[in-house]
A and B are shown apart, each in its own frame.
Chain A
Amino acid sequence: MTSHAAAAEGHAHEHHYTTTGLDNRKVAIWSFIGSECMLFASLISTYLIYKGRSVVGPLPHETWTDPSTGAVFKPILNIPITSASTFVLLMSSLAMVLALAAVENKDKPLPANAGWWDRQLASSKLWLWCTCILGATFLGFQAFEFTSFVHEGLTLRRNLFGSSFFTLTGFHGAHVTVGVIWLGSLLAIDYKRGLRPSDTLMVDIAALYWHFVDVVWIAIFTLVYLIK
């Protein structure tokens, strides 16, 4: 939320003098991202430190048999499905890049021989929609993952793995949610008055945040899902 405030505030005068020539909001978002790195570093380290310390299953990569009931818990992480959701999130970053480019180039007339694809590339609405929808799809995957884990007996309270896994990925999911809302508000502005090249910075900041959240996911996917 502080990020939101920081990003949307700033002096109205575009030509305000700054020491670096960068807009204040741009500097602020970078410092915010620095802070977020430490946040996720702490969450990820805790997950890794606690890996293998759970006294009961289900476990991420191993089968666990309950000694008292004989119930068998299969390894719980579903790598193929998560690979798919990871791909979706990566694609959303691509769409974000295209959205930013579309806003930046709004005033450039299309060349005379522009085809269908060139016209699509110039549509900021299209690419913002794509980013939002892909982001929301990722969240859908996560909701599915969480519910199926709960059905398989892994809850926030069940064991250390459950606590640290849900907290880490939940925090990431919350960041994606904030991002989707943020992008949605850009989309609303685009419908209301049209995003102009002068709005590039506004979109750029959202994009920085979005890519950051994406990069964090790649770290989580590698460290939590892929490495046994």
Chain B
Amino acid sequence: MATAATAPAYTSSESHGATGLMSWLTTVDHKRIGILYLHTSLFFFVVGGLEAIIMRYQLMRPNMQAVSAETFNQLFTMHGTTMVFLVIMPLSAAFFNFLIPLQIGARDVAFPRLNAFSYWVYLLGGVFITLPILFGLAPDGGWFAYAPLTTRTYSPTQNMNFWVLGVQILGVSSLAAAFNFATTIINMRAPGMNLMRMPMFTWMSFVVQWLIILAFPVITVALFFLQFDRFFGTNFYTVTAGADPLLWQHLFWIFGHPEVYILILPAFGLVSEVLPTNSKKPLFGYPVMAYSGILIGFLGFGVWAHHMFAVGMGPMADTVFGVTTMLIAIPTGVKIFNWIFTMWGGSLRFNTAMKYAIALIGMFTIGGISGITHASPPSDLQQTDTYYIVAHFHYVLFGGAIMGIFSGIYHYFPKMYGRKMDEGLGNLHFWLNFIALNLTFFPMHFSGMLGMPRRIYTYDAGQGWETFNLISSIGAFLMAPAMLVFLYNFFKSKKHGEVAGDNPWDAPTLEWSIPSPPPEYNFAQIPMVTSRYPMWDITHPERTAEIPHSTKGWDEARHRSDEHILPGGGHMADMAPAHIETAAKTASELDIPMPTPTIKPLLVALGMLVMVASLLPFFAGKTSAFVVLLAIGAGTMIYSLYDWLTTPLEEAH
């Protein structure tokens, strides 16, 4: 492989700048922030998994009394909330952070400090919403928090406050990150990295940022209404005052359905990188893949009421939303076929990443098909609020999003740490996980069809549900060893894994042209891109013969370039070795300006959290505690924000 000739096989990440706790608290490096996201969300994955296992233990047999009904409510609420907001979204964010700048040939994101801020808000918000479960105070109104049930009248305790405030905080994190990544992708692409050359992961991430930008404000408003109702006595969800009991459901699902695509599209993006690499063929139908992603994004805003067929919206609304829901399955199906055609006739390499990617195709399809069955209102009336729905969304979320993300972790681990994960353990992890997934969720189709409702904490014998529940529980228990194998592999391989080199999978995109782990400045010279697969142009020109090549975008770039863009212009073939040669040099040796580390984003996030938390004593009528907390929080936040805004990003040099 031409590029590896001069490569030092491995540079430890320690050689790229400071280490120690402070360096992590103050980092503004997108790669480090990505790694922080990854670790934090894996931690919450374990928490959410434990909650699930307790629930499955309780449901293993009829009339079990392992946990009370109240605890069970908290468990399923926190399980859903955790998996959606604290696991899948931030796991995707880990990849947005780590990969987007590398894939588009940028040195950082558009707003590095805002990026750090997003992470700290996520971490603090996650802790805020999770801790109460240790005290029996966790939210208990479901991950969808249906009002009026969650208004003060029906949920008079502090429990739901943690949810309405916590999710609001997490929304700030997601929105701040979305503005940042949307800007990064629009504006920081290397010369020649035209839209139709962006790696598919970046494409899907781009769509997701817009979904976040447009869908999150809707739940922000719904949450403000609920907060005002709970804290200040407004009437948004008070039916006796004339409120519409469906207002929350509409607002929540206008956000909620785009949200499910926010969860799945990054995983789609990841497998769209893994499949071509390991099939040794370009992605089949690249433009169609990009357009179908955009189409899914658009249609995703027009299907929300399929979550509400049972409320009696009338035949007209039911029909419209039934039809739009069936329509959205088309672009989704297109993707499935494109992946299959990508593999078709390729010489497949079945490493762990590839197995997970293929598993996504199969498992997601099962979830998609059950989705179609409840796109039809009459059919949905049989299924809604039963375990059949639980089966559907776990096949799309676990079988889809989580499988895709695991695929991404195995694939990109070498880029992150310079070492590969162990394939033997990976294989074990995959099969355990795959079997556990199907054992747990497949029987739920049947228990659901037999009428077992969701969200019940126990059930009587003799309704035909026993066997299915027992199998589901055994499957869930099997997930624990799967996760343990994964975590062991993950942490062991960071230190002792096989040294990977810059492009261990012989992959085609820009992030593989630089050392593993990448130096803090990513690219010693900003690459000039001529096609979708710059690395294969060098190593396997025969694979990219059919792909368009040009220097479109170079001239414009030269007009506006500064010294860090390759002086005379250049070709990846010269540039990739150049990146490797300079890898040992620091940014200042290469005279590349880097943002100064700073603790301010963390402090602003902390101040914001304290301010929000001050509403808890307010709720309990403790006014002085409220005022004190509010003042401390606001003071910290304003002071740090002022400092942040008045300090330049880069030290003068």
Given contacts A2-B179, A5-B644, contact A156 B188 (CB under 8 A): no
Whole-angstrom distance from the CB of A168 to the nearest CB of chain B?
A: 10
Interface with B: A45-53, A144-152, A208-216, which one? A45-53
Inter-chain contacts of B561 with A (CB < 8 A): 17
Whole-angstrom distance from the CB of B231 to the nearest CB of chain A?
A: 11
B620 within 8 A of A: no
The reply to whether A10 and B217 contact each other, CB–CB distance below 8 Å, is: no
Task: Find residues 343-385 in chain B having any chain A CB closer than 8 Å to their own CB.
Answer: none
The reply to whether B233 and A6 contact each other, CB–CB distance below 8 Å, is: no
The reply to whether A2 and B114 contact each other, CB–CB distance below 8 Å, is: yes
Chain A residue with minimal CB distance to B108? Answer: A11
Looking at chain B's contact residues, is the secondary structure mostly helix, strand, loop, or mixed? helix
Inter-chain contacts of A16 with B (CB < 8 A): 562
What 0/1 readout, one digit per residue, does chain A (2-32) give for beta carbons within 8 Å of chain B?
Answer: 1011101111110111111110100110011
The reply to whether B110 and A157 contact each other, CB–CB distance below 8 Å, is: no
B186 within 8 A of A: yes
Given contacts A35-B213, A163-B228, A164-B236, contact A5 B176 (CB under 8 A): yes
Q: Can you sample 28 A-B contacts with CB below 8 Å?
A: A2-B172, A5-B114, A5-B117, A5-B644, A6-B114, A9-B113, A9-B649, A10-B111, A11-B649, A11-B650, A12-B648, A12-B649, A17-B191, A17-B526, A17-B561, A19-B189, A24-B110, A24-B187, A31-B213, A34-B213, A35-B175, A42-B218, A42-B222, A50-B242, A53-B242, A53-B243, A54-B242, A159-B241
The reply to whether B244 and A50 contact each other, CB–CB distance below 8 Å, is: yes
The reply to whether B220 and A1 contact each other, CB–CB distance below 8 Å, is: no
Interface residues of A (CB under 8 A from B): 1-2, 4-6, 8-13, 15-22, 24, 27-28, 31-32, 34-36, 38-39, 42-43, 46, 49-50, 53-55, 156-157, 159-160, 162-164, 167
The reply to whether B187 and A18 contact each other, CB–CB distance below 8 Å, is: yes
Inter-chain contacts of A31 with B (CB < 8 A): 178-179, 182-183, 209, 213
B234 within 8 A of A: yes
The reply to whether A35 and B111 contact each other, CB–CB distance below 8 Å, is: no
The reply to whether A19 and B242 contact each other, CB–CB distance below 8 Å, is: no
The CA of A53 and the CA of B241, in the complex, are separated in Å by 8
Q: Interface extent on B, as a size class?
A: 35 or more
Whole-angstrom distance from the CB of B125 to the nearest CB of chain A?
A: 14
Given contacts A19-B186, A28-B183, A49-B247, contact A160 B235 (CB under 8 A): yes
Inter-chain contacts of A20 with B (CB < 8 A): 186-187
- Leading 10 A-B pairs by shortest Cβ distance: A163-B234, A39-B217, A42-B221, A53-B242, A38-B217, A24-B110, A157-B233, A8-B645, A18-B187, A19-B189
Inter-chain contacts of A34 with B (CB < 8 A): 213-214
Inter-chain contacts of B241 with A (CB < 8 A): 54-55, 159-160
The CA of A162 and the CA of B557, in the complex, are separated in Å by 55
The reply to whether A5 and B641 contact each other, CB–CB distance below 8 Å, is: yes
Whole-angstrom distance from the CB of B336 to the nearest CB of chain A?
A: 30
The reply to whether B187 and A160 contact each other, CB–CB distance below 8 Å, is: no
Whole-angstrom distance from the CB of B304 to the nearest CB of chain A?
A: 13
Inter-chain contacts of B565 with A (CB < 8 A): 17
The CA of A21 and the CA of B186, in the complex, are separated in Å by 10
Inter-chain contacts of B214 with A (CB < 8 A): 34-35, 38
B251 within 8 A of A: yes
What 0/1 readout, one digit per residue, does chain B (222-258) give for beta carbons within 8 Å of chain A?
Answer: 1011001000111110001111100100010000000
Whole-angstrom distance from the CB of A5 to the nearest CB of chain B?
A: 5
Inter-chain contacts of A39 with B (CB < 8 A): 217-218, 220-221
Inter-chain contacts of B172 with A (CB < 8 A): 2
The reply to whether B187 and A1 contact each other, CB–CB distance below 8 Å, is: no
The CA of A226 and the CA of B349, in the complex, are separated in Å by 67
Inter-chain contacts of B649 with A (CB < 8 A): 9-12
